[in-house]
């Protein structure tokens, strides 16, 4: 597709997953941001990313000898960061915090600028240590550095930007800074500054769970200096009191989006009560092919080669990888189901193990093999308990159930290329998108998933994967769980397993259909072009010419 105009975009995100060992990511949000930046480069689009240089990972999470997860926070140093030779300051709590700016252009040439506060000038104040560690006291300074520092870095670098894209609410203080600039430099009224700024911002919301949408008390924002020249009433008009970062994003932007069709409906329902906000449209996520689709599988697919043979090669590599990490050797010729997610209640990690007796003969025989991975947030004891349950099941069924500790992009890549089936069991409608399913589908790994996130848009049951749960929804989670479990076993035992062992031809046809479905439609290229067509250009056309940068 040719774009007539290409407004320049600054993309703000708290995390970026560009490479497994570049530890600036916790999960889906960051991987999405990394894939987005790479796709921008692939398509020659004028996009830069703004982020924070985290000293530590989200968590390096391992299992103790009882099989319970514990967290470690080693510090990382990267020798490939390029000094952008600028510093900007952000006033936080009455103190000028100096932010050094680094440039990264190493991964798919994606242009990313990172603000670093771990420098001599701030030596007694640690701000960007642990990604998503701590509460408001810690988070607000980080978000001030990202938002206000980010805008100041763009100015100091002399970059021309037309549209600012906030990927999730963490960056909304950038909008406050854009308003301040207009009030301060151009003597606009607050109302005019806000109205003009709106046309420069688009916003992506991700979290369909109300509690997952961050709020800060306006008192604490005042203490931290977040008002940034605005008054209490002005700040409250934007984000409410308490100041909700998502509501602020919706009121600061011209257009907002959800990340899958179903999520978009959910988001519209959820934020229906918010007045004076941007419409929420849908741009379904996509994944970066060169990152997630194995080259050999892509070649085989393009040349109409033997998908099964290539799949076995990749499955063998995964089995070797698991053996190296755990000593367990899976059987290459038996069904291998993968599940890797953040360990949290609604994702129902252990759903498949709920009625154990239904599958225990298969597990004992090794006809059903389950490979799990995923981290829990360091403060999420419930999520960690879920993991410890998986670990105890892996001891009960040695050789058939494995949990891989310290989930990262490397494990993800191995799993989404080497499993036979990709299981996904969120309690609908809590999953915004679930991009790992797209990665798996692209490699001919068949999805077995509830109709949540992206899957309703792609699933043709029995043709390119399977759904379970039939979109059933109950406000009682016990009822929904019971329904979904029964449905899962019905599909698993009645369709997935018989097809795998008795109808290889159908399986391979499904693999092909799976790749056909996602190859273009759920690629990051399709996604970023959608962002241009449906959002950036829409906002850009409303910008007065004098505000446009080119």
Ligand X SMILES: *Cc1c(COP(=O)(O)O)cnc(C)c1O
Query: Site residues (CB under 6 A) for ligand X?
Result: 27-28, 31, 341, 407-409, 412, 434-437, 439
| E strand or H helix at 448 | strand 446-450
3-state secondary structure of 135: coil
- Smaller CB distance to ligand X: residue 107 or 164? 107
Which residues face 115 on adjacent strands? 52, 101
Residue 93, both tokens: 């709590």
Nearer to ligand X by C-beta: 27 or 150? 27
Structure-token match 């058939």, residue found? 400
Beta-strand (E) ranges in 73-208?
82-92, 95-104, 112-116, 163-167, 201-204
Shortest distance in whole angstroms from residue 213 CB to ligand X: 17
Cβ within 8 Å of residue 305, ≥6 positions away: 299
Residue among 18 and 50 whose Cβ is closer to ligand X: 18
Taking the complex as a whole, the smallest distance from the CB of residue 251 to ligand X amounts, in Å, to 27
Between 164 and 339, CB nearer to ligand X? 339
251 or 341: CB nearest ligand X: 341
Cβ distance to ligand X smaller for residue 235 or 387: 387
* Shortest distance (Å) from residue 516 CB to ligand X: 20
**Cβ nearer to ligand X, comparing 301 with 407:** 407
Q: How far is the CB of 267 from ligand X (least distance, A)?
A: 16
Give 273-278's long-range contacts (Cβ < 8 A, gap of 24+).
Answer: 274/247, 274/250, 276/251, 277/247, 277/250, 277/251, 278/198, 278/203, 278/250, 278/251, 278/253, 278/254
Q: If we measure between CA atoms, which residue out of 134, 204, 194 comes closest to residue 170?
A: 204
Burial class (CB in 10 A: 0-12, 13-18, 19+), 291: buried
* Closer residue to ligand X in complex, CB, 28/150: 28
Give the whole-angstrom CA distance, residue 279 versus residue 384.
37
How does DSSP classify residue 117?
A: -
For residue 238, the tally of other CB atoms under 10 A from its CB is 23
Q: How far is it, in rounded angstroms, from Cα 207 to Cα 84?
A: 33
Q: Determine if the peptide bond prior to 10 is cis (ω within 30°).
A: no
> Of 15 and 177, which has the nearer Cβ to ligand X?
15
Q: How far is the CB of 434 from ligand X (least distance, A)?
A: 4
- For the record, the structure tokens of 356 come out as 């154990």
When the beta carbons of 199 and 430 are compared against ligand X, the nearer one is 430
Q: How far is the CB of 394 from ligand X (least distance, A)?
A: 20
Taking the C-alpha atoms of residue 381 and residue 386, their distance in angstroms, rounded to an integer, is 9
CB of 28 to ligand X, least distance (A): 3
Q: Smallest distance from the beta carbon of 410 to ligand X, in angstroms?
A: 8
Task: Say which residue the tokens 């915004």 belong to.
Answer: 432
Alpha carbon distance 438, 447 (integer Å): 9
The CA distance from 317 to 179, in Å, is 53
Q: Are 20 and 292 in contact (CB under 8 A)?
A: no
CB of 372 to ligand X, least distance (A): 12
Q: Which residue, 300 or 349, has its beta carbon nearer to ligand X? A: 349
> In this structure, are residues 254 and 547 in contact, taking their beta carbons and an 8 Å threshold?
no
Q: 């936080």: which residue's tokens?
A: 92
In the complex with ligand X, the residue whose CB is nearer, 197 or 433, is 433
Minimum distance of ligand X from residue 404's CB (angstroms):
11
CB of 458 to ligand X, least distance (A): 13
Name the one residue in this structure whose structure tokens are 């011209």.
Answer: 254
CB of 452 to ligand X, least distance (A): 11
Give 481-516 as a DSSP string: HHHHHHHHHHHIIIIIHHHHHH-HHHHHHHHHHHHH
């Amino acid at each position: 597709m040719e774009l007539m105009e290409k407004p320049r975009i600054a993309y703000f995100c708290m995390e970026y997953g560009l490479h497994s060992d570049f530890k600036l990511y916790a999960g889906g949000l960051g991987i999405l941001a990394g894939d987005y930046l790479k796709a921008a480069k692939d398509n020659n689009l004028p996009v830069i990313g703004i982020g924070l240089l985290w000293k530590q990972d989200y968590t390096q999470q391992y299992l103790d000898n009882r099989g319970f997860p514990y967290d470690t926070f080693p510090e990382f140093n990267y020798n490939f960061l390029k000094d952008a030779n600028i510093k900007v300051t952000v006033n936080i709590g009455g103190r000028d915090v100096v932010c050094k700016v680094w440039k990264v252009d190493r991964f798919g040439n994606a242009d990313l600028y990172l603000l670093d506060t771990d420098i001599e000038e701030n030596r007694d104040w640690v701000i960007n240590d642990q990604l998503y560690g701590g509460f408001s006291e810690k988070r607000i300074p980080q978000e001030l550095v990202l938002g206000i520092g980010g805008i100041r870095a763009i100015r100091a670098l002399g970059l021309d930007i037309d549209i600012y894209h906030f990927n999730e609410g963490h960056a909304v203080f950038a909008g406050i800074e854009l308003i301040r600039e207009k009030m301060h430099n151009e003597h606009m009224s607050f109302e005019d500054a806000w109205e003009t700024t709106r046309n420069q911002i688009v916003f992506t919301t991700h979290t369909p769970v109300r509690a997952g949408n961050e709020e800060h008390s306006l008192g604490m924002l005042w203490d931290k200096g977040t008002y940034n020249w605005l008054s209490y009433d002005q700040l409250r008009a934007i984000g409410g009191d308490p100041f909700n970062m998502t509501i602020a994003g919706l009121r600061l932007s011209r257009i907002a989006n959800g990340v899958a069709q179903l999520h978009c409906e959910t988001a519209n329902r959820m934020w229906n009560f918010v007045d004076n906000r941007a419409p929420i449209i849908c741009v379904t996520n996509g994944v970066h092919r060169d990152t997630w689709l194995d080259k050999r599988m892509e070649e085989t697919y393009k040349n109409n080669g033997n998908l099964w043979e290539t799949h076995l090669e990749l499955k063998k590599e995964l089995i070797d990888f698991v053996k190296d990490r755990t000593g367990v050797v899976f059987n290459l010729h038996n069904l291998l189901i993968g599940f890797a997610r953040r360990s949290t209640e609604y994702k129902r990690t252990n759903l498949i193990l709920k009625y154990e007796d239904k599958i225990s003969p298969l597990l004992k025989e090794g006809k059903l093999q389950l490979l799990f991975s995923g981290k829990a947030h360091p403060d999420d004891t419930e999520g960690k308990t879920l993991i410890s349950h998986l670990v105890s099941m892996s001891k009960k069924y040695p050789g058939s159930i494995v949990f891989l500790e310290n989930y990262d992009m490397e494990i993800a890549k191995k799993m989404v290329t080497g499993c036979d089936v990709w299981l996904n069991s969120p309690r609908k409608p809590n999953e915004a998108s679930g991009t790992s399913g797209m990665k798996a589908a692209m490699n001919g790994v068949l999805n077995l998933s509830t109709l949540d996130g992206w899957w309703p848009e792609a699933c043709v049951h029995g043709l390119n994967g399977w759904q379970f749960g039939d979109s059933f929804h109950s406000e009682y989670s016990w009822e929904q769980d019971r329904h979904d479990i029964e449905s899962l076993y019905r599909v698993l035992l009645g369709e997935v397993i018989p097809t795998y062992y008795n109808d290889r031809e159908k399986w391979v046809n499904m693999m092909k259909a799976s790749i056909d479905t996602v190859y273009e439609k759920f690629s990051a290229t399709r996604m970023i072009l959608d962002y241009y067509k449906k959002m950036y250009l829409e906002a850009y056309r409303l910008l007065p010419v004098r505000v446009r940068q080119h």
